[in-house]
Structure 1
Amino acid sequence: MPDQAADGTAEVLFERRGRLGVITLNRPRAVNALTAGMAAAMLDQLTLWTSDDAVAAVLVRGAGDRGLCAGGDIVAIYRDMLDGGDATAGFWAGEYALNSLISDYPKPYVALMDGLVLGGGVGISAHGSIRIVTERTRMGMPETTIGFVPDVGGTLLLSRSPGEIGTHAALTGAHLSGADALFLGLADHFVPSANLVELTRALENEAPDTAVARFSEQAPASVLAAQQEWIDACYASDDAEEILRRLRTVGGEASDVADTIEAKSPTAVKVALESLRRVRGLNLEEALEQEYRVGLRFLAGSDFREGIRAQVVDKDRTPHWQPPSLAEVSRTDVESYFAPLGDRELKLAKERDNV
């Protein structure tokens, strides 16, 4: 069962409205940040709905007006890291199984990606079959800011974006507009936020494709699409230092982007870049297994903990990365994050075969 909020309400709610199964993430004060209990409850309920003929489609949304989901509960992860990180490893195993189920869900899975959709929020939405953004969408994988790398299948999603736009999004952790999310292939439809209540009502009895088409509109132009030429040229390298050199050579806005990347965890930047290169050609389960391998290595290191401390716990915004520069992160260091875990390996493909 999911955990309960301080007022006794469940942190994720499930209901059936007509032929629609509705999932509501219910931690509005935390922008619906995902906990292990919420992920486990979603996995159980979605599994039940696969064989429930009364449910023709599923909708996931966030309570409140700030966003679908601001990602995993990183304060809980921080506290767990101080105790060894075992609970976080378990959380990720369940969360990644949920991402895998969503990606291959046998019924239409409609995600309302309104407001903030970050990190784990991407995992419960961008793997769905009908992904809706609005003019309020602010989507992203900001993990390098806290000394971590994109996960929940984010490396695979970003690796499939046009050109090197996904690499840019991963290394900078930039927030994407709804239009940018559409351009990157992370969403399918643009619906004004004012129409979401009516759309939800229509989904209760209409076929999702029909209802969504009726409320969809032309999205604004993507800013990143207009920047693709210099982004592709700068990020085509597999070497992080070379990417920064190219960005500074272009100058202007690209030079500002180089400054942004340089402020991130050097280890996270290099491992994120390597993750995106290695994930090409993998399926989602294989990508999640790679992300799990990398994630456990970050749990054992110092930058992930230090990044959360600086950004969320103490909020001094002055993380002390170890090592402090890209040049000091060796190729051997990077490759160590991808080394096999032995009996700790996540084996999602096998688990999915047994569901």
Structure 2
Amino acid sequence: MNDQHPEYDDHVLLRTEGHAAYLTLNRPKALNALTHPMVLRIDAALAAWERDPAVETVVIEGAGERGLCAGGDIRAIHADAKSGGTASLDFWRDEYRLNARIARYPKPYVALMDGIVMGGGVGVSAHGSVRIVTERSRVAMPETGIGFVPDVGGTYLLGLAPGELGTHLALTGAAVGAADALLCGLADHFVPSAALPALARDLAGDSVRAVLERYVEEPPAGELAGAREWIDHCYAAGGAEEIVERLAAGVPAAKDAAATLLTKSPTAVKVTLAALRRARGLGPLERVLEQEYRVSRAALSSPDLAEGIRAQVIDKDRDPHWSPATLEAVAPADVDRFFAPLGERELRLAAPASSQEVPW
């Protein structure tokens, strides 16, 4: 199913059982980080199962104990950013097409979002029709911490979150647990982690609805619902600098958010804020993914992406030197260039004429 990269086939394990098909991301030592061959293999499998009448349900899960997926392979992106390479552009193009396929998949797509689910891991799970979190779930779009901007449809998903919760998560990169993922619209159901193997097995022989009725429970209490007042007030400010000012003058949790936000790439923070607000007016997911592709291309040539990955992943000194170094030094033109039209290089995705309900 992956003729171009057969040596990587064991990074995505495929199997069918009963009327269910199973995708297992299988790079546990790398927290199942996505590579380009993995994206192509997932996409090919979904295309084949969509046409297979014997497959009624698709399940995606992660190998190992740590989580579903920590995101894309950012070491490879770092190499591209340092060398001026273009492999990341091809990866993002195919990854975003996969995100769109998952969002429009005509069969139930059950994502087991146990453990760490970040960045590209959100892209292969949170666009699905049945998204299950557990008490171990930590869901995040932490891109501003590496000089990048939420992608894989992240600005679409976070733009739909109640009030300004999505803005808070996008700018700070904060990870949320099960209840807050449900509140923000990043997940649908809570199931205890220990029950997931049985749930996955049951999907081979029973309907999704019947299986969920047996396993879904109420999640442990979250944190964001009680923080709505200060989050909605602070993040509704006109620009990033004013957001920080409001946070810094607020309750202790708001002050903590201000301190966190100021550790992120100033350029990435401002571009993320603009991308999120623009996404809310773009319409379907496909239009937002097209915008994210523009932004990602621009980020690849920005000094902050290579520097952020260096500080967080390569050298691990946690001391990035951002350029520009402050929010005030990031000019409107610096932000606007991330949204410049790409001409023939644009990503173009066909959106359906009307939304479709997945029967399950």
Contact 1:3 1:10 in 2 (8 A): no
Contact 2:147 2:265 in 1 (8 A): yes
1:308-347 CA-to-partner distances (Å, cap 9, x unmatched) read 0000001111101000000000111111110101111101
1:267-304 CA-to-partner distances (Å, cap 9, x unmatched) read 00000000010001321110000000000000011001
Call closer, same or farther: CA 1:350–1:225 in 2, change over 3 Å: closer
Partner of 1:121: 121
Higher mean Cα deviation, 47-56 or 343-352? 343-352
Q: Secondary structure of 2:339's partner?
A: coil
Partner of 1:291: 292
- The amino acid that maps onto 1:77 is I
Distance 1:229 1:246 in 2: 12
Identity of aligned residues (%): 56
Contact 1:238 1:274 in 2 (8 A): no
Runs of 4+ in 1 over 4 A off after TM superposition: 2-5
- Displacement of 1:351: 11
Q: Secondary structure of 2:350's partner?
A: helix
Distance 1:284 1:176 in 2: 22
Partner of 2:356: none
Q: Secondary structure of 2:328's partner?
A: helix
Q: Secondary structure of 2:291's partner?
A: helix
Call closer, same or farther: CA 1:350–1:154 in 2, change over 3 Å: closer
Call closer, same or farther: CA 1:85–1:213 in 2, change over 3 Å: farther
Partner of 1:227: 227
Distance 1:28 1:249 in 2: 42
Q: Secondary structure of 1:327's partner?
A: coil
Partner of 2:358: none
Is 1:262 matched with 2:251? Answer: no
Is 1:44 matched with 2:50? Answer: no
Partner of 2:338: 337
Q: Secondary structure of 2:32's partner?
A: coil
- Displacement of 1:10: 1.0
Contact 1:20 1:57 in 2 (8 A): yes
Contact 1:165 1:231 in 2 (8 A): yes
Give runs of aligned pairs for residues 109-258 of structure 1, distance below 5 A. 109-258=109-258
Ranges in structure 1 where 5+ consecutive residues have no aligned partner: none
- Displacement of 1:238: 3.1
Distance 1:80 1:262 in 2: 27
Contact 1:19 1:56 in 2 (8 A): yes
Distance 1:173 1:151 in 2: 12
- Displacement of 1:82: 2.3
- Displacement of 1:45: 0.8
- The amino acid that maps onto 1:191 is V
Partner of 2:11: 11
- Displacement of 1:212: 1.5
Distance 1:252 1:24 in 2: 41
Distance 1:341 1:203 in 2: 43
Q: Secondary structure of 2:24's partner?
A: strand
Partner of 1:81: 81
> How many residues matched?
350
Distance 2:85 2:207 in 1: 43
TM-score, structure 2 normalization: 0.95
Higher mean Cα deviation, 137-146 or 243-252? 243-252
Distance 1:81 1:149 in 2: 15
1:45-72 CA-to-partner distances (Å, cap 9, x unmatched) read 1011111001001000000110000000
- Displacement of 1:237: 1.6
Partner of 1:28: 28
Ranges in structure 2 where 5+ consecutive residues have no aligned partner: 354-360
TM-score, structure 1 normalization: 0.96
Contact 2:140 2:175 in 1 (8 A): yes
Partner of 1:323: 324
- Displacement of 1:81: 2.0
Contact 2:146 2:307 in 1 (8 A): yes
Q: Secondary structure of 1:337's partner?
A: helix
Please provide the CA RMSD for this pair: 1.5
- Displacement of 1:350: 7.6
Distance 1:151 1:85 in 2: 19
Distance 2:269 2:247 in 1: 15
